[in-house]
Amino acid sequence: MNKREISGWVMYDWANSAFATTVVTAFLGPYLAALIAERPFAILPLGPFQIEPEAFYPFCVTVSVMLQFVFLPLLGALADFTNLKKRFLIGFATVGALATCLLGLVSSGEWVLFGGLLFIVANFAFGAAVVFYNAYLPELAPPEDQDRISSRGLRLAMWVAGCCWP
């Protein structure tokens, strides 16, 4: 077992939990709704759709999940039948992190569509990276050590959150 790769896997386990609990769940929905409300015309025309400010974030989530529904099974097959798990994990994690960082630049209602697109990219990349992250664990450790290694990420997340974990 390569301790450096296991530590990297555990850190990614912790980091992807932070993305899911903060960006996806808590902050981005209200932030995008507030940006849309700043616009002179709060309703967004998106092709044949008229999207209310409160519906824009759920719309972006829906689009990203639909993309995941189509592409993640294909990426899962790619993960199962190639030796490129680490490269794809790094690639998708990087794309997701960059898209998430660029969300910080969306500071006015005029850029809210770009912010929605960035979220769709970030959430899709998050899901894709998780496919390769899950496929990578069996390469890092034998089956008898996988539960112990996997739980290290959870313990780290609980410690960072300030909870006690025995």
| 108-163 tens-digit pLDDT | 777 888 989 999 999 999 999 999 999 988 888 888 988 888 887 777 766 666 65
Give me the pLDDT at residue 67, please.
Answer: 97
Question: Residue 107, CB half-sphere, CA atoms under 13 Å: how many?
Answer: 3
Q: Which carries the bigger pLDDT value, residue 81 or residue 24?
A: 81
CA 110, CA 31: separation in Å to the nearest integer? 13
Give me the pLDDT at residue 3, please.
Answer: 85
Give me the pLDDT at residue 74, please.
Answer: 97
Nearest partner of 151 among 17, 13, 22, 15, judged by Cα: 13
CB neighbourhood size of 135 (10 A): 19
Per DSSP, the three-state class of 54 is helix
pLDDT class for 25, splitting at 50, 70, 90? confident
Average pLDDT, the chain: 85
Mean pLDDT across the stretch 6-12? Answer: 86
Nearest partner of 123 among 104, 95, 102, 153, judged by Cα: 95
Q: Is the pLDDT of residue 164 over 70?
A: no
Mean pLDDT across the stretch 45-69? Answer: 87
CA 166, CA 164: separation in Å to the nearest integer? 7
- Report domain extents, the chain: 3-160
pLDDT class for 2, splitting at 50, 70, 90? confident
CA 90, CA 131: separation in Å to the nearest integer? 12
CA 13, CA 23: separation in Å to the nearest integer? 16
